[in-house]
Amino acid sequence: MRQTLKKFEAQVFNAEVARLVASGRHHRELIDDWAKSHFIQILARDLDHASRKAESMFPGDRGYVINTVIPVSD
């Protein structure tokens, strides 16, 4: 049986980009806009699954910080 996916939203920014932009420099791969929060929609079975997907898409070891993951109503 297939489980229905629900919508979630992750608030993500990149701390490395934020640090570089604050010192007047730029990241070699990411645009300066990643210094600010981005809101990313994720389809997942539940909140835990959505959080794991966000962590996979935006790994902390690459400077990403996931502030929140919340359910989004249709």
Q: Are 73 and 33 in contact (CB under 8 A)?
A: no
Q: Is the pLDDT of residue 74 over 90?
A: no
Q: Is the pLDDT of residue 3 over 90?
A: no
Q: Is the pLDDT of residue 6 over 80?
A: yes
Q: 23 in a domain, yes or no?
A: yes
Measured distance CA(8)–CA(72) in Å, rounded? 5
pTM of the model: 0.90
Residue 20: which domain range? 6-71
Q: 64 in a domain, yes or no?
A: yes
Per-residue pLDDT at 59: 98
35 Cβ contact list (under 8 Å, min separation 6): 13, 14, 17, 18, 20, 21, 22
The CATH number of whichever domain residue 35 belongs to comes to: 3.10.20
Q: Tens digit of pLDDT for each residue in 10-47?
A: 999 999 999 999 999 999 999 999 999 999 999 999 99
How many structural domains compose the chain? Answer: 1
Q: Is the pLDDT of residue 51 over 70?
A: yes
